Amino acid sequence: MTREEVFERLNKVFQEVFDDETIKVNDSTTSEDIDDWDSFEHINLIVAVEEEFAIKIPMGKVVTMKNVGEMADIILQLGN
Amino acid sequence: MKELEYPFDPEWILKKKKALKRELLQNTQQTFLEKKIAILGGSTTRDIRDILELFLLNYGIRPCFYESEYNQYYADGMFPNPALEEFHPDILYIHTSNRNIEQYPSLEDDRTLVMQKLQAEYERFQALWEHLHAVYGCPVIQNNFEPPLYRLLGNRDASDHRGRWNYIQRLNQMFYEYADTHQDFYIHDICYEAADYGLERWSDPFYWNMYKYAMCVPAIPYTAFQLARIIKSIFGRNKKVLNLDLDNTLWGGVIGDDGPENIEIGQETSLGQTYAEFQDYLKQHKKLGVLLSVNSKNNEETALSGLERADSVLKREDFVDFRANWEPKSRNLYATAEELKLLPESFVFVDDNPAEREIVRQEVPGAAVPEITKVEEYIRVLDRSGFFEVTNFSEDDLKRNEMYLANEKRSRMQKNFSDYGDYLRSLEMKAEIGAFGPTYFSRIAQLTNKSNQFNLTTHRYSQSEIEQIAADPQYLTLCGRLEDKFGDNGVVSIVIGRKEKDVLHIELWLMSCRVLKRDMEYAMMDTLVKRCRECGIRQICGYFYPTAKNAMVKDFYALQGFEKLEEDAEGNAKWFFRIPEQYALKNQVITVTES
């Protein structure tokens, strides 16, 4: 899985969870950039990402994740 | 919406919740019942609220929510709370879990001390329920407690008085005792859900420590679905009829090809046993008041020969309506609905054939059509779908099938009479009509929530509200039972009137459709007039509010001799009746006893 593929699939997850087809995420996207991305929706986002990539993100990493770029790194790390 | 019916994909629902909500609200055919639900949480409740909303919308209930701040369930419920009082909830839901138990036993505790802790824990909750009942007077739904994730004493944790698992089960028992002896109080069984889902995943500490959710997030749709089932049942949105195919649904094989001696039913083969278990499961529904009916592509005689087998659990007389013919099944279903005077959307159609299911799904909007494929899964799918979730269980439910069977006998007898009045007299009907009494509170509340067709205003009442109205001298209430020589129909008609000087405003007038055209509505009117006179009321105002389902009573008040005073563009009408000096009794066929 390349980083580009991860971003492509991540983008779809973001669009579904926030019900907004115009969303485009990149390395530096954070919760500041998406209106509905509060701490509650963050939970759903993580669950949806875990399902999409068939992974389980450990607590330590959920806590430290700062932007979508780091999220992609974690997915690549866990997925391989 | 099929995506929200069992078996659903919980992760998909969580991911698509926003889009699903949008879609559900776009359904213009649905007239939603608006309800206010207060969630008092002992843990995070956000997604429980969001997903509950989806399932309720799917049941035709549009909720608005009050949600307590994180873990404020006790303070919010127990102490003066103007925001909640102003919200005026229709349902209070206490979402607690074993994380909210304040005192667990410790290993050095003796039996007495553990009992004291249990009692204190229980009383803390009981005080909350009683306070809520007194202040808000609406139904309360309370979670029980799920099993603990770890067992310090291993297997002994279940039996030893110091074991947490033992403690939780005893606490649960105390909750059940309260539920079993109090009205308008319901247990939401998360203990069963956790076991069913898999406790190991359910109680994954990740979700508690990360987000303060009492269960893992992917389990939320399971728990929200069960909760929605309780709520829709309280508000009368349960299904009422099982409409059953025969071949490969009630028995294995095709009776027309194989012959009655060769179908799979009974104790001889494992397949036969599985079908027999399914038949037994269905038969038990009769006592819940669920009606059984047959909808089969067969010759009638052939179909009956299957039920006549000695080892068939279900017999012909278990079905209130039986259709074995070559008509489309959707047409049969409509005919059965017509015969039983029930709405087609209150049906659950059970058929192993996907093509038949698809036809019914297309042709009978609102009817439930569960996906059943393998006989060993039939019970699980029907049971987990919760079509008949029991919240109130009355004497009437136990007898409902008998009542419908008696109706079949009546309609056979009707054919022997050319004059309808003669037929009615031959039924030897007796009615008991009187003000609301405690014996009937539960049934009255149930009727106000279930009756859609013969219902002038379609106001819904909880049991607590019925009790308040019964005790309030401002109200004049009537509840009518009807029996005849074929059987007892139980409580079938309700009137609630509010007195204002010498005028009575009829806030509710309803009748069960199973006694249509029996002149019971006239017997009720006669008694109503008599009671009005006794308390100095001279005028009666009736109201008709049209819904998608109550067109049959549009002109009800005209038949009772009222005059129409006003009517708006939507058809909401106000009717007026001045009680004359000489009131001629309208009912001539029912012998009425007043209570």
Cβ–Cβ gap B218/A47 under 8 Å: yes
| Residue B2 pLDDT class (50, 70, 90 cuts) | confident
Considering all CA atoms of chain B, what is the largest pairwise distance in Å, rounded to the nearest integer? 83
| Chain B touched by A19 (CB under 8 Å) | yes
Order across the sheet with B185-188: list the strands: B61-67, B33-41, B91-95, B140-143, B185-188
Nearest residue of A to residue B210, measured between CA atoms:
A59
Where do the domains of chain B lie, and which CATH numbers do they carry? 2-234 (3.40.50.1110), 241-385 (3.40.50.1000), 416-594 (3.40.630.30)
Torsion of CA A45, A50, A53, A59, to 10 degrees: 110
Q: How far is B18 from chain A (nearest CA, A)?
A: 6
- pLDDT per residue as tens digits for the range A20-56: 999 999 999 998 899 888 888 888 999 999 999 999 9
- pLDDT per residue as tens digits for the range B345-371: 999 999 999 999 999 999 999 999 999
Interface test with B, best of A12, A19, A61 (most B CBs within 10 A): A19
Q: Which residues of B touch A36 (CB under 8 A)?
A: 18
Cβ–Cβ gap B18/A19 under 8 Å: yes
Q: How far is A9 from chain B (nearest CA, A)?
A: 14
- pLDDT per residue as tens digits for the range B93-137: 999 999 999 999 999 999 999 999 999 999 999 999 999 999 998
State the pLDDT at residue B368.
96
Percent helix, strand and coil across chain B, each rounded to 5? 45, 20, 35
Task: Check the CA dihedral A59-A62-A64-A69 and report its sign.
Answer: positive
| DSSP code for B368 | B
Q: Which residues of B touch A13 (CB under 8 A)?
A: 15
Q: Which residues of A touch B17 (CB under 8 A)?
A: 44
Q: Which residues of B touch A40 (CB under 8 A)?
A: 44, 46-47
Q: How many CB atoms lie within 10 A of CB B182?
A: 14
For residues B20 and B54, the answer to whether their CB atoms sit within 8 Å is yes
Flag whether pLDDT at A80 surpasses 70.
Answer: no
Return the closest-CA partner of residue B325 out of B350, B295, B352, B345: B295
Q: Which residues of A touch B18 (CB under 8 A)?
A: 17-19, 36
Domain that includes residue A28, residue range:
3-79
Q: How far is A4 from chain B (nearest CA, A)?
A: 22
CB neighbours of B120 closer than 8 A, spacing ≥ 6? Answer: B103
- pLDDT per residue as tens digits for the range A32-41: 899 888 888 8
- As a whole number of angstroms, the distance between CA B286 and CA B378 comes to 17
First and final CA of chain B: distance in angstroms? 46
- pLDDT per residue as tens digits for the range B484-511: 888 888 899 999 999 999 999 999 999 9
Cβ–Cβ gap B18/A40 under 8 Å: no
Flag whether pLDDT at B419 surpasses 90.
Answer: no
State the pLDDT at residue B404.
81
- As a whole number of angstroms, the distance between CA B321 and CA B308 comes to 16
| Residue B464 pLDDT class (50, 70, 90 cuts) | confident
Q: Which residues of B touch A16 (CB under 8 A)?
A: 15-16, 19
* Closest CB to B11 among A19, A47, A63: A47
- Write out the residues of chain B at the interface with chain A, using a CB-CB cutoff of 8 A: 11, 14-19, 22, 44, 46-47, 206, 209-211, 213, 217-218
Phi, psi of B575 (to 5 degrees): -120, 155
Question: Per the structure block, which two tokens stand in for B474?
Answer: 């401002």
- Looking up tokens 């009368």 gives B236
Question: Per the structure block, which two tokens stand in for B338?
Answer: 């017509």
| Residue B306 pLDDT class (50, 70, 90 cuts) | very high
CATH number for A27? 1.10.1200.10
| DSSP code for A55 | -
Task: Give the lowest-confidence range in B332-336, B395-399, B404-408, B567-571.
Answer: B395-399
**Model pTM score:** 0.82
Phi, psi of B572 (to 5 degrees): -65, 125
Mean pLDDT, chain B, integer:
94
- As a whole number of angstroms, the distance between CA B378 and CA B32 comes to 31
State the pLDDT at residue B442.
86
* Closest CB to A59 among B44, B46, B210: B210
Return the closest-CA partner of residue B435 out of B514, B524, B537: B524
Specify the 3-state DSSP secondary structure of B342.
Answer: coil
Nearest residue of B to residue A38, measured between CA atoms:
B46
For residues B77 and B131, the answer to whether their CB atoms sit within 8 Å is yes
| Residue B219 pLDDT class (50, 70, 90 cuts) | very high
Q: Which residues of B touch A53 (CB under 8 A)?
A: none
State the pLDDT at residue B29.
74
- Looking up tokens 């105390």 gives B174
| Chain B touched by A59 (CB under 8 Å) | yes
State the pLDDT at residue B403.
80
**Total number of domains in chain A:** 1
- As a whole number of angstroms, the distance between CA B370 and CA B158 comes to 37
B328 cis-preceded (ω within 30 degrees of 0): no
* Closest CB to A43 among B18, B19, B217: B217
- A contact residues 25-44, partner B, Cβ 8 Å cutoff: 36, 40, 43-44
Nearest residue of B to residue A45, measured between CA atoms:
B15
State the pLDDT at residue B407.
80
Phi, psi of B321 (to 5 degrees): -150, 140
Nearest residue of B to residue A49, measured between CA atoms:
B15
For residues B168 and B161, the answer to whether their CB atoms sit within 8 Å is no
Task: Tell me what the mean pLDDT of segment B570-576 comes to.
Answer: 95
State the pLDDT at residue A65.
84
Q: What ipTM was reported for this prediction?
A: 0.84
Q: How far is A71 from chain B (nearest CA, A)?
A: 17
Task: Give the lowest-confidence range in B219-233, B309-323, B399-413, B467-481.
Answer: B399-413
